[in-house]
Amino acid sequence: MNIKLDTVGHLCPFPLLEGKKAMTKLNKGDSLTIDFDCAQATENLPNWAQEEGYEVTNFEQLGDAAWTITIRK
């Protein structure tokens, strides 16, 4: 299962906080895709995923200030 979380327009640390909350509802092997436009989250989200032992399966810049990241639990 893949859950999509759109946090575009929300200031940091909202993308990270919402990502953490959403990840608790997923089973091992499920993925969470977060769309965001907070530059701080470009470091916070991958760092959090690594600390938790999650796999980042996709991380790309969509525009001048827009990114998407997919994290597998």
> CA angle, 51 as apex, 73 and 33 as ends, to 5°?
40
- Which candidate in 2, 8, 11, 12 is catalytic? 12
State the pLDDT at residue 2.
96
**One-letter amino acid for residue 45 of the chain:** L
pTM of the model: 0.96
Residue 12 annotated among the catalytic residues of the structure: yes
Could you give all domains of the chain from N- to C-terminal order, each with its CATH number?
A: 2-72 (3.30.110.40)
Which residues in the chain come in under a pLDDT of 50? none
State the pLDDT at residue 46.
98
